[in-house]
């Protein structure tokens, strides 16, 4: 299981400072959608140039213009981009084709998808690399977690990896061990920690022990 460190509500300078503390601990660094909306691809480019061996995900949440938007993110240094699972199939296929042409990867974000199992099968058939079960920020206070649907998706996909994201912290990380996604995404539990490096190391130990 890999640990993805999500950076959402920080600026590029702060993000780089945080990455400096954990680049050799976490597996993937995510430049989150809020940061991309504020600063474009600059944080992606900056992190990748500083840490070329580190996997960088751009949480682009592509919903149209799949080839153009994914190519822009890949050109900036992203190794993985996200596309919304409810986007048109043509858009998703365009993102996947662009990724394959460039030796990159695609993660489909299942936020707001109602037929989770059905869409997961379709996405698997479109050759996405990862399917992300994502509990949106605005519904996390209902008690829902991404693990509610993860087990279901793991029974229907044959090739795509699975990802759990949304509100995961030290109180819920034990569920990751139970359901065993390929990637677990953690944001605030790390960015809000007094010692980010120690928190990341503890998280890694928890999911791999």
Structure tokens at 60: 């682009």
Q: What is the 3-state secondary structure (H, E, C) of 83-143?
A: EECCCCHHHHHHHHHHHHHHCCEEEEECCCCCCHHHHHHHHHHCCCCEEEEECCHHHHHHC
pLDDT at 140: 60
Alpha-carbon separation of residue 82 from 31, 37, 93, 123, 178 (angstroms) = 11, 14, 12, 13, 25
Buried b / exposed e along 169-197 (16+ C-beta atoms within 10 A)? eeebbebbeebebebbbbbebbbebeebb
Question: Which residues have C-beta within 8 Å of that of residue 144, sequence separation ≥ 6?
Answer: 135
Distance CA 203, CA 161 (A): 20
**87: domain range?**
2-208
Q: Report the number of distinct structural domains present in the chain.
A: 1
pLDDT at 103: 99
Q: Are strands 130-134 and 28-31 parallel, antiparallel or unpaired?
A: unpaired
Sign of torsion over alpha carbons 102, 43, 172, 206: positive
pLDDT at 105: 99
pLDDT at 176: 87
pLDDT at 203: 96
- pLDDT per residue of the chain (209 residues) written in tens, 0 to 9: 999 999 999 999 999 999 999 999 999 999 999 999 999 999 999 999 999 999 999 999 999 999 999 999 999 999 999 999 999 999 999 999 999 999 999 999 999 999 999 999 999 999 999 999 988 777 766 667 788 799 999 999 999 999 999 989 999 898 888 999 999 999 999 999 999 999 999 999 999 98
pLDDT at 141: 67
Q: List phi, psi (to 5°) of 181.
A: -70, 160
**What CATH code is carried by the domain that includes residue 191?**
3.20.20.70
């Amino acid at each position: 299981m890999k640990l993805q460190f999500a950076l959402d509500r920080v600026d590029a300078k702060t993000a780089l400072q945080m990455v400096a503390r954990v680049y050799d601990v976490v597996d993937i660094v995510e430049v989150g959608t809020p940061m991309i909306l504020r600063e474009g691809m600059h944080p992606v480019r900056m992190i990748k140039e500083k840490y070329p061996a580190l996997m960088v995900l751009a949480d682009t949440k592509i919903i149209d213009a799949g080839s153009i938007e994914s190519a822009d993110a890949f050109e900036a240094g992203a190794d993985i981009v996200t596309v919304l699972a409810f986007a048109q199939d043509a858009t998703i296929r365009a993102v996947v084709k662009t990724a394959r042409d460039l030796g990159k990867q695609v993660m489909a974000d299942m936020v707001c998808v109602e037929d989770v199992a059905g869409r997961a099968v379709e996405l698997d058939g479109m050759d996405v690399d990862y399917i992300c079960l994502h509990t949106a920020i605005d519904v996390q206070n209902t008690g829902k977690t991404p693990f509610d649907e993860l087990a279901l998706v793991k029974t229907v996909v044959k090739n795509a990896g699975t990802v759990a994201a949304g509100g995961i912290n030290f109180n819920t990380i034990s569920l990751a061990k139970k359901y065993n996604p390929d990637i677990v995404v953690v944001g605030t539990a790390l960015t809000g920690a007094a010692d980010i490096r120690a928190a990341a190391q503890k998280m890694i130990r928890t999911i791999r022990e």
